[in-house]
Amino acid sequence: MRIFLAGASGVIGTRLVPLLVREGHVVAGMTRSSEKRVLLRSLGAEPVLCDVFDPEGLQRAVVAFRPDLVMHQLTDLPDDLESLAELAAANARMRREGTANLLAAARTAHVSRFVAQSVAWTPAGPSAAATAELERRVLDTGGVVLRYGRFYGAGTYYEDLLPDPPRIQIDDAALRTVELLDAAAGVYEVVDP
């Protein structure tokens, strides 16, 4: 498959790219950071420099790649857990506006497969409504919603401690995501047993 991976340079994206390439998929790795293009190329992706909040540029990028599947792994989270509540509005915007723009780009490119990241717990504040909107939009288009548990492991907020359940080790989350590429439309929990 040709997979357009939005959020390819993030904590799960950098694990997904090599797994997808190893499975024989051709991956366009979208990032808004020009510095991360070298990393994405080294992982096996075709780097795509694009901002999800630029709908016209995003549509051009998705149409040009001609994907079979668009995968939404975008978040806008701070580097430290202590700032998460304070900066929650940015991630809520990503879930609302970013999701809408990605879905519109997929429609323009006539892509029928769409997979999006969500969470397996009930978020608080502005994140609750934004998460519900993301899931509704994706499901309304016949897409797949992956409700991840809290990530733990290298590069996550929980490198040395286990977070409260629901949780999932980050490498296991990437492996399970690849297994769900052909899943029927719906919601899937991706959590530790």
- Give the range of the structural domain holding residue 7, as residue numbers without chain letter: 2-181
Q: What is the DSSP letter of 94?
A: I
126: pLDDT strictly greater than 90 = no
Higher pLDDT, 65 or 81: 65
65: pLDDT strictly greater than 90 = yes
**Which of 52-66, 105-119, 120-134 is predicted least confidently?**
120-134
Which residue, 178, 117, 126, 124, is CA-closest to 148?
117
> How many domains, in total, are found in the chain?
1
Residue 188 lies in a domain: no
22: pLDDT strictly greater than 90 = yes
Residue 132 lies in a domain: yes
Q: What is the pLDDT of residue 79?
A: 87
Continuous H helices in the chain: 13-22, 37-43, 55-65, 88-93, 99-108, 126-140, 170-179
The answer to whether the CB of 189 falls within 8 A of the CB of 147 is yes
Mean local confidence (pLDDT), 137-165: 97
Count other C-beta atoms under 10 Å from residue 119's C-beta: 18
29: pLDDT strictly greater than 90 = yes
Under the banding of pLDDT at 50, 70 and 90, the label for residue 183 is very high
Which residue, 144, 81, 70, 146, is CA-closest to 107?
70
Q: What is the pLDDT of residue 87?
A: 85
Residue 190 lies in a domain: no
| Cross-strand pairs, 167 | 150
| CA–CA dist 48, 36 (Å, integer) | 10
Residue 191 lies in a domain: no
Q: Is 5 helix (H, G, I), strand (E, B) or coil?
A: strand
Residue 145 lies in a domain: yes
Q: What is the pLDDT of residue 124?
A: 85
| CA–CA dist 57, 80 (Å, integer) | 30
CATH number for position 25:
3.40.50.720
Please report, rounded to a whole number, the percentage of residues in the chain having pLDDT higher than 90: 93
Q: What is the pLDDT of residue 71?
A: 98
The pTM score is: 0.97
Residue 36 lies in a domain: yes
182: pLDDT strictly greater than 90 = yes
8: pLDDT strictly greater than 90 = yes
Task: Establish whether the linkage from the previous residue to 55 is cis, with ω within 30° of 0.
Answer: no
